[in-house]
Structure formats: C-alpha cells, structure tokens
C-alpha cells in the first residue's frame, strides 16, 4: 500500500510539474497575437539562447536571451518597456518555461507581458519564421 501511495504521489507531482513548467502552451490566441504584431500593436521577444535561434525565429521577433535578462533584470525590463512603447509584449522560448520566467521578471519590474509558449508550437500554427541572428 505504501509503495502504491508513493507511485501515485510521484505521478501527481509529475503531472503538476509538467503542466506548470514544461507544457508548451500559449496564454493567448497565437494567430490573434501575431496579428497584433503585424499591425504594430505588439512586439514579440524570443528569449532562447544563440544556439537555439540559429535554427530560426518567428518573423519580426526581437532576440533578447534569458541569460541577458537574468544578468541585469531591471535594465533589461526598462529596455523592453522602451522597445514596446505602450504596445503589448509577447514572449516565447523553446518550450514556454523560460518565457514564463521572463514574464515573471518583467512583471516584477512593472512590464506586462504574455507568454506565447514555445517556438515549435508557434511554427506549427504556421506563423512565419525567419533565420536567426548570425
């Protein structure tokens, strides 16, 4: 019985961790969000690291890696606020976990943002992509 409860507890914890930190989901409708970007009403930021963005990025995305944001959160949040100039801010990474972390950092600094999840799910939604920075 004890072994069963341990297994059950592990399964529940695993599902919680997956849903909270790993699941590749968007907090907003992806197509509608990208439409706002095209209309100039929003910006989109890729927070993946250099080796990842070389595989491609969402078209018109700004690249600000999490490592840069982590190094100086206040300054980077202020920079993002200036880049956005009152526009909505959308974030993405590989799976949605790092963009969620950046969302928390920005929120702490007074910058509202929306986590769109991961690159693969965004490209699966047929959002246009471009080559990453050289």
Percent of the chain with pLDDT over 70: 82
Phi and psi for 130 in degrees, rounded to 5?
-140, 165
Tens of pLDDT, residue by residue over 90-120, are 999 999 999 999 999 999 999 999 999 999 9
Domain ranges in the chain are 24-130
- Distance in angstroms (rounded) separating the CA atoms of residues 79 and 63: 13
Tens of pLDDT, residue by residue over 27-62, are 789 999 999 999 999 999 999 999 999 989 999 999
- Distance in angstroms (rounded) separating the CA atoms of residues 120 and 134: 20
Q: Which CATH class is domain 24-130?
A: alpha beta
Under 8 Å between Cβ of 30 and 127: yes
Residues involved in catalysis: 93
């Amino acid at each position: 019985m004890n072994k069963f409860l341990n297994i059950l507890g592990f399964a529940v914890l695993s599902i919680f961790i997956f849903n909270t930190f790993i699941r590749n989901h968007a907090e907003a409708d992806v197509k509608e969000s990208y439409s706002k970007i095209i209309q100039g009403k929003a910006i989109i930021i890729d927070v993946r690291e250099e080796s990842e963005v070389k595989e491609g990025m969402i078209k018109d995305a700004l690249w600000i890696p999490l490592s840069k944001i982590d190094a100086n959160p206040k300054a980077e949040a202020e920079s993002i606020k200036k880049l956005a100039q009152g526009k909505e801010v959308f974030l993405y990474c590989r799976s949605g976990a790092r963009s969620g972390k950046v969302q928390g950092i920005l929120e702490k600094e007074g910058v509202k943002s929306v986590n769109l999840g991961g690159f693969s799910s965004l490209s699966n939604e047929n959002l246009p992509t471009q080559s990453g920075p050289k």
